Structure formats: structure tokens, C-alpha cells
Amino acid sequence: MIFAKDHKTLDMFDPLARFGPHRRERLEKSWARLFREEILPELPIHKLRPFFSESKGAPTKDLYAMLGIALLQQMHDLTDEETIDRVAFDLKWHFALNLSEGKAGDVYVCPKTLWTLRHLLSGNDLSGRIFQTATEKLAKLFSVNSSHQRLDSTHIFSNMRHLGRIGLFVRVIKTFLVNLKRHHIELFDALPQEMTEKFLRKSSESVFSMVKPSESGKTLSSLGDDLFFLARRFREEKAVAEMTSYRLLCRCLSEQCVVEDAGSATEKVRVKPNADVASDSLQNPSDPDATYSGHKGQGYQAQIMETYAPAPDNTLPEGGEPAGASDAPGLRLITHLAVEQAHQSDAHALIPAIASAKECGLAPAEVLADSLYGSEKNIEKAKAMGTEVVAPVPGGEGKGKSSALSEFALTDEGGIAKCPMGNAPIEDVARGNHREVVFAVEHCFGCLRKKDCPIRSVRNGYGFSYDRKQVKMARRRAREKTAVFRDRYRYRSGVESTMSELDRKTGVKRLRVRGMTAVRYCVTLKILGLNIFRAAAWSARNVGNPGPRGEKSDRNDAKYPVEAGISGILRTVRLLVCRLLDHPAPFPGWRRIAYSGGC
């Protein structure tokens, strides 16, 4: 049976009345109040209903509270045991989740319930729906301005050991032999005893880890032979071929080795050089989804895009006050995230990020990103979507033609007006998608910058050819050197503080789980947790000041608040009765006054 409280209906008596003024003030300024009033009622429990029966079985825990517990666990980076303790004893959690301490079942959750919930949320990708729903709510509540955003990626390590190639070979073979012995003991007994003892003795991995660097090639070659022997030995055994550990063994063989003279009687295996192994190859059999980034190592990565507020213009309007000087700083909200394998290039993440934010109604007008996102193709696609990308030219300053062209004065048609020394060309002709430019001999022959110039000797002088793409990149490189570009691009570095804050508060860079499904679930809820932390901190900083909609941020700081409408009258009566009777909770004989709407 399905049970879900109506968390949009308020209690007759103030749930904070039992706290003293100091504790009450701290609780109201914490994330707990925002979570209880704005996030908890919006959690998409309708996505969980299909997994439970409406008429059979014992009643479920409150589905709103269970989704809230899953979110709070990742927000605070807690183990299952720590989460159970928080639900049982933490008053802040009780308030945030709207749990009733009078009912023992409400403030206790068993580990199996957590496991089942996590399996449902991660296996059906419901964490993404939770993130989208809560983020849209926060954006609307705080009137977040999404016109300015910035994008970057962060590396994530799953709960796996980082293995070298020798360690990988040993772990793959050992895992297969253990499973083979467990499920097919007769086939295991038929293997050479020398091989099984070598890999299954307790010190096998430590022995291989002590190999001298000078002998590592020989050891790898020997392990490659063992890998090849096992793969060929059991490929005709259907029961063994269907084992996950055998498929991982074959994957390791195909990615790390080359079989020479395959199919012949003289076939043999050769281990690939390190440079020939693909970055998406198997890193550890305990986490087959993890891949390798040459820059950051093994694991996963998360693409994160967030809003930011540029500094107000310092020009004085007619009133004499700088524009935006009286406005409270806007809430920085993460509007998009995508969890990927570590080998994925950042160049492919920009357009999906813009499209995802657009679907949520948070489309950016400007995105700041580093050079990997700033290819010409990405800039053109983003422009067609109504977004300007501010990013350096990929590749940095090199000796290519586009780098050299940035020193030339260009015309509006894409031609060259003057060289860096101020000399005009004697010929500049368009030929299809290319242009050919020629400078006079007397200007180039003794030029001091000839070594850095792309010119070469031609029939009637010195010249070179260039295309439209090189002109576009040259213009971008020229703009990068201006003060206007530097002033706009300086806000991109702020996304690095977001990555640091995300790791410090939620532990996102080192997870307790393995596999893409579990990693995506944890990362998604942790990033949503950071949004909630930021929204609560923003609200606490602006207590008593006009909020983004113009109303007071703290709506309960008056001693006897008088509010408009039926909801406000009922709330005022409720607080008056509580204070007169000095009673923190509804007492027998009183019925709960239910009404919808906020206060």
C-alpha cells in the first residue's frame, strides 16, 4: 500500500514553538526550513508509485520523506548507518522531513528500505527528475537570472583501486578463476595447478606488485599468455562464456593485447605498447564503466553549468547611483549536470548543456567556458540556439597561420589590409574558400619578423594562402587580447570555486559506489544538495531585505504576524493560541486545521 503525507497542508500549531528563540532562529536560517517548505512538497513521488501496489502489502513509509532522506544522505555525504542515526535522532532532520516524533515508525528507517529506495531511484534514473524538479522550483522561488552562465567539468573517482597494467591483468585473471571455481569446479580442476596456485594464493597480487621496472615487460608478456590461454580454453564452453568475469577477461585481452596469426596453429599474443591502449579500455574489473583521462586519471567526470552575476556597470544613470548597486547579489544555481566517462572530450558537452538548460526554462544568453568547449563548430551551433559562447581559441598561441593572422589587420571581407609591420599587400585574391596574399619583396626581404611570419617565397614576392576558418580564428585571437574580452572572461574562474565547494560539502570527487548507474545517482543528488545549501545561505544573508520578488525574505520575524487571506488569518490565530496556552503541539480535543497554500 502507498502512503504519502500532504506536506502542503500546514499544522495548526507552529512546529518551532518548542524551540527557544536562539534555536528557532538558527533553524529558520538553516537549509532545513527551505527544504521543508519548498523542496519536500515538490519531490516527484508519482514516479515511485508504479513500483508499489495501491491495495496490497503493508503501507509504505511516507514517500515524500523517503525521497527526502535519499537526497539528504547525499547532501551530507553519509553512510547508511549514519543516515539511519540522523533520521532517528537529529531534530533538524525531523523538522526538514516533517517527521512526527510521537510515532516511532516515522523516525526510523531500516537499511533494507534505504537499499530498495536507492535501487529504484538509480536503476530508473529518477535522480535526474528530482534534480530537474527541485532546480526549477529554486529558480522560480529566487527569480534566478539565467542569462549569464559558465561551464566546466570535474573529475570523479569511484570506489575502486587504481591499477597499473600488471595489476589489471592479475585482477582480471584472479576474478575469473575465483568465479570459475565457485560455479564450475570440474572445469577449474582441469586447469594446470601451477596456474591456479600462482593467481589464487593470498600473496599473489603483492608478489606481482613488487616486480622490478626492468622486468615489467617480461611479466606483462607472461600475463598476456595466461590471459590468452584462458580465453581460448573456455570460449567453447557456453556456461563459462556467459559469465561476466569471462567477458571482462576477453575484453581485457582485446584491448590490451594483439593476437598475431589468429586462427592458425601458430597464433600467439603480443601485449600492446602503452601508447596504443585506448583511453576507454577496462581500468578495473570491479568497475567496468570507469575509463581513463590522460589529464586526470581513471574514473568519471561531471559536466556542470551554473549561473553567475557579473559586476554591475559603474556608469552613473540619471539618478546618480550606479546601476545594480542596491540589488542583492543573485543566487548562483547549477542548472545542468551530466555524468560521463572520463575519456569523453569536453568539446561534445557544450551543446547538450545549453539544450538541457533550455528545456528547464533556464536558457543562457552567454556561456563562459575554457578553450576545449570553444571550437568554431560549437560556437556556430550555440549561436543558432541563441547563446553566445565566450571562450579562448582551442590550441592556444602556436605557430600556425591562424595565430599569425591575428597580428595582421583584416578587412571586413576577410582579406588582409596590413601586415604587423604596417605594409599593405600588393595582391590579395579570393579563390573559392581560400585567399592568396602577396607582399612586395622590398618589404619582406629584410623584415625583422620574417621568422614568425607565415610567408614564403612566391613568383612575384612573398605570400601565403589562408581560408575563412583561419580568418575567424584570427579575429577571435585578436579579440582575446582586448580589455573587453578579459573583463567578460574573468568570471569563468569562479566555476573552480564551485567544484571545490561541491567536494568540500558533499564529497563528490570520491564516491563510495562503483558503476555508471550508481555514480550518476550520487553525483546528481549531491549537486542538487549544493543548490539547496546555496539557496539557504542566500536566504539567510538577505533576511529582512527585499527578496528577488520584492517581498521580505523572513516572513515570521514579527511577534504577531498579520497576513492577508484565509491562510494568513489561520496562521495568525494558530500562533496566538500557541503563545497563550504555551503549548508546542496540538492537544487532545483539537482537530488539525488543514488549509492549502503557503504563508
Q: How far apart are CA 308 and CA 529, in angstroms?
A: 18
What tens digit of pLDDT does each residue of 559-579 get?
333 344 555 566 667 666 666
Give the pLDDT score at 420: 82
Where do the H-state alpha helices sit in 268-420?
Answer: 350-359, 376-384, 401-405
Contacts of the segment 566-574: beta carbons below 8 A, 24+ positions apart: 566/595, 567/595, 567/596, 567/597, 567/598, 567/599, 568/599, 570/595, 571/10, 571/599, 574/12, 574/13, 574/14
DSSP-assigned letter for residue 37 = I
120 with 170, same domain: the answer is no
117 with 169, same domain: the answer is no
110 with 169, same domain: the answer is no
Question: Does residue 362 surpass a pLDDT of 80?
Answer: yes
Give the pLDDT score at 312: 67
What tens digit of pLDDT does each residue of 319-342 get?
333 333 334 468 899 999 999 999
239 with 173, same domain: the answer is yes
Q: Residues 297, 494: contact at Cβ < 8 Å?
A: no
> Considering the domain boundaries, does residue 382 fall inside one?
no
Top pLDDT among 405 and 584 is at 405
Q: How far apart are CA 528 and CA 279, in angstroms?
A: 30
Give the pLDDT score at 566: 55
Give the pLDDT score at 258: 93
179 with 261, same domain: the answer is yes
Top pLDDT among 253 and 57 is at 253
Lowest mean pLDDT among 266-270, 549-553, 557-561: 557-561
113 with 40, same domain: the answer is yes
Where do the H-state alpha helices sit in 14-150?
Answer: 21-29, 31-34, 63-75, 80-89, 91-97, 111-123, 126-141
Tell me what the pLDDT averaged over the chain comes to. 83
What tens digit of pLDDT does each residue of 11-33 get?
667 777 777 888 888 888 899 99
Band of pLDDT at residue 491, cut at 50, 70 and 90: very high
Band of pLDDT at residue 315, cut at 50, 70 and 90: very low
> Considering the domain boundaries, does residue 524 fall inside one?
no
Top pLDDT among 457 and 569 is at 457
204 with 109, same domain: the answer is no
Q: How far apart are CA 167 and CA 372, in angstroms?
A: 33
Give the pLDDT score at 311: 75
> Considering the domain boundaries, does residue 67 fall inside one?
yes
Domain end residue (candidates: 461, 480, 499): 480
If one counts the domains in the chain, the total is 3
pTM of the model: 0.82
Question: Does residue 589 surpass a pLDDT of 50?
Answer: no
Neighbours of 442 (CB within 10 A): 10
Pairing of β 366-368 and β 388-390: parallel
> Considering the domain boundaries, does residue 511 fall inside one?
no
Give the pLDDT score at 32: 93
**Mean of the pLDDT values across residues 207-223?**
81
> Considering the domain boundaries, does residue 88 fall inside one?
yes
Q: How far apart are CA 432 and CA 226, in angstroms?
A: 59
Question: Does residue 299 surpass a pLDDT of 50?
Answer: yes
Give the pLDDT score at 319: 39
Give the pLDDT score at 81: 95
Domain end residue (candidates: 452, 480, 508): 480
What tens digit of pLDDT does each residue of 508-541 get?
999 999 999 999 999 999 999 999 999 999 988 8
Band of pLDDT at residue 314, cut at 50, 70 and 90: very low
Q: How far apart are CA 481 and CA 77, in angstroms?
A: 43
Question: Does residue 588 surpass a pLDDT of 60?
Answer: no
> Considering the domain boundaries, does residue 514 fall inside one?
no
> Considering the domain boundaries, does residue 189 fall inside one?
yes
Band of pLDDT at residue 594, cut at 50, 70 and 90: very low
Domain end residue (candidates: 459, 480, 501): 480
Give the domain range for residue 46.
21-124+558-581
> Considering the domain boundaries, does residue 7 fall inside one?
no
